[in-house]
Amino acid sequence: MIPGKTIYRLSIYNRCLRRVEENQLTTISSSALAKAAGVNPSQLRRDFTYLGQFGTRGLGYPVQELMDAIRDVLGRENLQPVILVGAGNLGSALLRYQGFQKEGFEVVAAFDAVPDAVMQREISVPVYDVDTMPKFIAENDVKLAILSVPVEHAQEVANELVDAGVQGILSFSPTVLQVPETVTVNSVDLALELEQVSFFVKNEKISEVEIEPTS
């Protein structure tokens, strides 16, 4: 079983490797890739042992094979359908965000309590009334949802998502969602992230804050 933190870093390596690939390199050493990813070379090598072993001593890792191996673990051959709930302020920005597509996700539909108000904002994804959400989830076999509704409705909507069959939620609400343990929740709390930065700045430490997995 691969640790969550390793999974997170594999995603980072994957990104870095794409840039390496663009530069026409066919192999890369652990130290070079580690530097690009902002981690320790030993850690990177340790992470790669979970992929089996195919680095060449004295040379490095074959870029293409490495990418294939990582993608294999992350299970990202085909596009993952995702829905978004709450197309307000943050939600509509996320709908326009291209980064999800780049990583192999497709936001197939959005839901909002007042879909009309959202329509005009140059969004290519269809926005439906939130009442139709459970039906859509069931019919399209959606497993992943992005939750960007106001905090006071977050738990309520999360319950609906879970009942409808969603198995993973990326939440942007500053609250702790209570869900069955069969459901995976990852919470991104923007204010908390800023608070973290603030703390370490105040305490003027030589404290490098890294991005971290949500194991």
Three-state DSSP state, 98: coil
15 binds its own copies (CB under 8 A): yes
7 binds its own copies (CB under 8 A): yes
Three-state DSSP state, 17: helix
57 binds its own copies (CB under 8 A): no
Q: Kindly state the tokens that stand for 58.
A: 């004295």
CB atoms within 10 A of CB 62: 16
Count of residues in the chain: 215
- Using left for φ > 0, alpha for ψ between -120 and 50, and beta otherwise, residue 134 falls in alpha
> At its nearest, how many Å lie between its own copies and the CB of residue 79?
11
Pick from 46, 102, 138, 165 the residue near its own copies by CB under 8 A. Answer: 102
Proportion of the chain in helix, strand, coil states, percent, rounded to 5: 50, 15, 35
Please say whether the dihedral angle defined by the alpha carbons of residues 177, 183, 188 and 192, taken in this order, is positive or negative.
positive
Pick from 59, 79, 117, 209 the residue near its own copies by CB under 8 A. Answer: 209
Which of 15, 153 has the CB closer to its own copies?
Answer: 15
> At its nearest, how many Å lie between DNA and the CB of residue 46?
4
Distance CA 215, CA 213 (A): 5
Residues contributing to the site for DNA (CB under 7 A) = 3-6, 28-31, 39-43, 45-46, 48-49, 53-61, 215
Q: Kindly state the tokens that stand for 46.
A: 């340790």
Which of 57, 202 has the CB closer to its own copies?
Answer: 202
The one segment of 8-16, 22-30, 58-66, 127-135 that binds its own copies by CB under 8 A: 8-16
Q: Sheet containing 105-112: which strands, arranged edge to edge?
A: 127-129, 105-112, 80-85, 144-147, 168-171, 184-187
> At its nearest, how many Å lie between its own copies and the CB of residue 145?
9
Which of 66, 127 has the CB closer to DNA?
Answer: 66
> At its nearest, how many Å lie between DNA and the CB of residue 201?
18
Which of 131, 212 has the CB closer to its own copies?
Answer: 212
Which of 53, 215 has the CB closer to its own copies?
Answer: 215
Distance CA 194, CA 189 (A): 9
> At its nearest, how many Å lie between its own copies and the CB of residue 187?
4
> At its nearest, how many Å lie between its own copies and the CB of residue 56?
25
213 binds its own copies (CB under 8 A): yes
